[in-house]
Structure 1
Amino acid sequence: MADVVVISESIIRPDEVSDRVKIHLTPWDLFFLGSEYPQRGLLFPQPDPETQIISQLKSSLAAALKIFYPFAGRLTKIKNEDETVSFCIDCDGSGVKFVHASAKTVSVSDVLEPAGGNVPDFLDRFFPANGVKSCEGISESLIAFQVTKLKDGVFIGFGYNHMVADGSSFWNFFNTWSQICSTGKNFSPLLLRGWFLDGIEYPIRIPISETVSSPIRVVPSSLLQEKVFRFTSRNISELKSKANGEVSPDDRKISSLQAISAHMWRSIIKNSDLNPEEVIHCKLLMDMRRRLNPPLEKECFGNVVGFATATTTAGEMLSNGLGWAALQINKTVGSQTNEEFRVFAENWVKKPIIPNHVAVSSNSIIVASSPWFNVFGNDFGWGKPIAVRAGPGNTSDGKLIVYPGIDQGNIEIQTCLSSHVLEKLSTDAEFLKHVCVV
């Protein structure tokens, strides 16, 4: 067990607080009310011993929060007279949690080349928001950081409230923070989402009963394991070519991400020992900014993700090839339109349902994050990241977190599965033909 010592814990506030804005939450924001904070982390090389990284990170973070001020606010809960509650973000400048920790017994190689090949358990202790749910943003900071100094490197872990921002907005923030730290450069004001559906009154009212957590059956964490798989640019090209070669020329073209998602989906189902009649799902979180009408700017801040779900049976999946599976994903992604997004919102407001995001999902995979996020461009002044890892947060059987690889054109997927399925997958020759274990 890694010895992680917390040296200090503080609240970092923005350099200054502008007008106290309140942001009303949309159905897509409130959908994440019961979810845990997504957590990610970057592993960096060892800075020069003379570099005062903690003070530099704190001061540049305060400057970044002046721009990305919603992160420095808190969630506000309003009890209505009709047995409902409403939520909004109060941009009051309360600040964000910043933890400085040390793990001098852990080396960079322990993270990159862990014993047994699985993501090491000690990594959980490098993250600052374990078990924190979006609804706790009333008292918890809406984004939190932990900087852990290792024997020969630095790990910066972070968790954020998904009702405030999605992955696209988070990485825009992180890119800005790292640039402020390394260059001191000023940046343009924040472009807020500034969009709400016509015909939907806000703040949205949610029955109190929907905000009360109910007992759910989950896979014990001891039965889940995580491993990182790497697709090289050559692997990706081969899978994309194979998938497109197996579908009709009249069909939409299969993308790289759709091809590797299909390869993961088919291989996981093959090794899951499901009955042929079992209904299975592939769920993808999608950035909807450019799919809306009118479209939103790619840089606009907020949470604008939708769920695309491809559904079939285990038997049908395994009786068809890679191209067929990729085409199911392709068609589902293509169906995510402005109209579908609007219908979801209108129906959700009529009957708000807060899903349990940690329920058992052994018949599903969920593909989150994106290989197009600027992960490895974050240089705080002592070198670019060596690796990226996902931390605890909505961890479930079948969760796939997608990142760009450190080498141009590569894609890595941190895969969480039941231990027996992951073990079979890791020795599946057909699967490993197009991927390698990190």
Structure 2
Amino acid sequence: MRDVVIISKTIVRPESFEDGPDPVKIHLTPWDLFLLQSDYTQRGLLFPQPDPETNIISQLKSSLSVALKIFYPFAGRLVKTENEDDKTASFYINCDGSGVKFIHASALTVSVNDVLEPVDGIIVPGLLSEFFPVNGVLSCEGVSESLLAIQVTELKDGVFIGYGCNHMVTDGSSFWNFFKTWSEICYTGSDRKNFPPLKLPGWFLRGIDYPIRIPISETVISPVRFVSSDLQDKIFRFTSKETSELKEKANSEVDSKISSLQAVLAHMWRAIIRNRDLNPEEEIYCRLLMDMRRRLNPPLEKECFGNVVGFVTVTATVREVVNNGLGWAALQINKSVGSQTDENFRVFAENWVKKPRILNGNLGNKAMMSSSNSIGVSGSPWFDVYGNDFGWGKPIAVRGGPGNSSDGKLVVYSGVEDGTIEIQTSLTSRVMEKLSTDAEFLRHVYVGYAK
């Protein structure tokens, strides 16, 4: 018997009003198109149970309609144009108001506690996957799929709001700005006039002809997609005290300014590599996505909508990471992050246009972000996920969906308590078991949910 029952599927379109923006085309950048065959980003928030008299589905749909008038790209569709003259394809987002998929579901046999405290701390993949829409959907499928899909699942004693979002349209920073706006409209009843118009970074295509042309061969979806059956997910939680201790330790070992997040990620990286039993001389990687808005010249406003992320790769050997200490590993992350400049960002774009390279559709973003000799980090503790209140209380927890799970994938969130960092970690069962009993690692980590 399935735990989740679909009650309805509808399309929510932007609220219609006379002074709204005219439909526009958004031409995609190299950073967008690089993710053409990546999975939809999936995240979800767990909420307390609303008052039974509250019609949350009606409220969520009506407020979403208003929010989509502001964040109109989400309600558009991807358009693919095949260029017969050179056997290439071009893509753009047509902001035509087609709307987003909205699913109402019920899982009355599932409790909030089932999500918060699964057996041995391991998130049940089969159950969690049913809380998210667009499982297995790639960004290039936005020609027919909505660019944003929402699923609201009513639990026995709570509500889970999961979403799937096309990564070519937006990054985490922009998405959580949208989510905050949606929740505020739902809670307060505020209309669009209380919110500033959407800001698009139109200038960063200077010097690049568009629409960008990609070989059609690069746009073909692989008929076989790899899905590991041996992955486990756990939430590792670092309190403000533990993050401060790791930061202090890292900075005491090297002469630099290591941040709390860099120290935490170095701690995770060292522990995972230590428990993978790799050859000491093997080359390993720590790959991160980072917001580039304030690093560009001129800088973009932090509220600027779109996908403006850079890709950072830290390279070392197993021996270096394991033997040189926390400070050394954190310093490598620090240096790599610091090296991401406006020039690097633009050089990537210029080179990419000359020779487009799409992430392998068989693995989606998993191919780049993680594997047995690397970790891949996405998310941020600076996203205000716990500030989203639709009118029945703030979130209890945040979770990532199955489309973003792969060996070595780390999704970073802020914790409920100030200064806390939570990391949803995907590893093979063997490595997860070893990591979960690693005394050195657990000295600074709490496994599970903080009551």
Provide the TM-score with structure 1 as the length reference. 0.97
Aligned counterparts, 1:102-141, within 5 A? 102-121=106-125, 122-141=127-146
Tell me the residue number matched to 2:237: 230
Task: Work out whether residues 35 and 394 of structure 1, in 8 Å CA contact, stay in contact via their aligned partners in 2.
Answer: no
| Counterpart among 31, 34, 39 of residue 31 in structure 1 | 34
- State the superposition RMSD in angstroms: 1.2
- For residues 197-253 of structure 1, give each alpha carbon's deviation from its aligned partner in whole angstroms, at most 9, with x where no partner exists: 3221000000011112347784x43211000000000000000000000002xx3x0
Q: Hey, what's the Cα distance between the residues in 2 that align with 1:290 and 1:406?
A: 26
Task: Work out whether residues 2 and 106 of structure 1, in 8 Å CA contact, stay in contact via their aligned partners in 2.
Answer: no
Q: Hey, what's the Cα distance between the residues in 1 that align with 2:2 and 2:447?
A: 23
Task: Work out whether residues 80 and 91 of structure 2, in 8 Å CA contact, stay in contact via their aligned partners in 1.
Answer: yes
| Counterpart among 191, 195, 205 of residue 203 in structure 2 | 195
Deviation at 1:70, TM superposition (A): 0.2
Tell me the residue number matched to 1:378: 388
Identity, % of aligned positions: 74
- For residues 29-86 of structure 1, give each alpha carbon's deviation from its aligned partner in whole angstroms, at most 9, with x where no partner exists: 0011010001000000000000000000000000000000000000000111210000
| Counterpart among 237, 248, 260 of residue 241 in structure 1 | 248
Provide the TM-score with structure 2 as the length reference. 0.94
Task: Work out whether residues 262 and 322 of structure 1, in 8 Å CA contact, stay in contact via their aligned partners in 2.
Answer: yes
Q: In the alignment, does 2:164 pair up with 1:159?
A: yes
Q: In the alignment, does 2:352 pair up with 1:348?
A: yes
Deviation at 1:188, TM superposition (A): 1.6
Deviation at 1:195, TM superposition (A): 2.4
Tell me the residue number matched to 1:89: 93
Q: Hey, what's the Cα distance between the residues in 2 that align with 1:18 and 1:237?
A: 46
Task: Work out whether residues 42 and 404 of structure 2, in 8 Å CA contact, stay in contact via their aligned partners in 1.
Answer: no
Deviation at 1:3, TM superposition (A): 1.4
Tell me the residue number matched to 1:150: 155
CA 1:20–1:351 in 2, change beyond 3 Å: closer, same or farther? same
Task: Work out whether residues 38 and 392 of structure 1, in 8 Å CA contact, stay in contact via their aligned partners in 2.
Answer: no
Task: Work out whether residues 128 and 402 of structure 2, in 8 Å CA contact, stay in contact via their aligned partners in 1.
Answer: no
Tell me the residue number matched to 2:263: 259
CA 1:48–1:92 in 2, change beyond 3 Å: closer, same or farther? same
Task: Work out whether residues 45 and 382 of structure 1, in 8 Å CA contact, stay in contact via their aligned partners in 2.
Answer: yes
| Counterpart among 404, 409, 432 of residue 414 in structure 2 | 404
Moved more, 387-396 or 237-246: 387-396
Tell me the residue number matched to 1:168: 173
Give the counterpart letter for 1:164 in structure 2: V
Task: Work out whether residues 72 and 95 of structure 2, in 8 Å CA contact, stay in contact via their aligned partners in 1.
Answer: yes
Matched residue of 2:402: which SS?
coil
Task: Work out whether residues 2 and 105 of structure 1, in 8 Å CA contact, stay in contact via their aligned partners in 2.
Answer: no
Q: Hey, what's the Cα distance between the residues in 2 that align with 1:141 and 1:375?
A: 23
Tell me the residue number matched to 1:19: 22
Tell me the residue number matched to 1:62: 65
| Counterpart among 174, 178, 187 of residue 182 in structure 1 | 187
Task: Work out whether residues 258 and 334 of structure 2, in 8 Å CA contact, stay in contact via their aligned partners in 1.
Answer: yes
Give the counterpart letter for 1:146 in structure 2: Q
Q: In the alignment, does 2:48 pair up with 1:50?
A: no
- For residues 337-357 of structure 1, give each alpha carbon's deviation from its aligned partner in whole angstroms, at most 9, with x where no partner exists: 000001100000000000122
Give the counterpart letter for 1:27 in structure 2: P
Give the counterpart letter for 1:12 in structure 2: V
Q: In the alignment, does 2:425 pair up with 1:422?
A: no
Unaligned runs of 5+ in 2: none
Matched residue of 1:326: which SS?
helix
Give the counterpart letter for 1:415 in structure 2: T
Q: Hey, what's the Cα distance between the residues in 2 that align with 1:435 and 1:4?
A: 32
Task: Work out whether residues 370 and 403 of structure 1, in 8 Å CA contact, stay in contact via their aligned partners in 2.
Answer: yes
- For residues 370-406 of structure 1, give each alpha carbon's deviation from its aligned partner in whole angstroms, at most 9, with x where no partner exists: 0000100100000000000000223211100000001
Give the counterpart letter for 1:230 in structure 2: R
Runs of 4+ more than 3 Å apart: 213-218
Moved more, 196-205 or 44-53: 196-205
Matched residue of 2:146: which SS?
coil
Tell me the residue number matched to 1:290: 294
Deviation at 1:2, TM superposition (A): 5.2
Q: Hey, what's the Cα distance between the residues in 2 that align with 1:114 and 1:353?
A: 39
Tell me the residue number matched to 2:218: 210
Q: Hey, what's the Cα distance between the residues in 2 that align with 1:193 and 1:374?
A: 22
Aligned length: 434
Q: Hey, what's the Cα distance between the residues in 2 that align with 1:2 and 1:114?
A: 18
Q: Hey, what's the Cα distance between the residues in 1 that align with 2:213 and 2:62?
A: 39
Matched residue of 2:135: which SS?
coil
Q: Hey, what's the Cα distance between the residues in 2 that align with 1:44 and 1:405?
A: 14
Task: Work out whether residues 254 and 331 of structure 2, in 8 Å CA contact, stay in contact via their aligned partners in 1.
Answer: yes
Q: In the alignment, does 2:5 pair up with 1:5?
A: yes
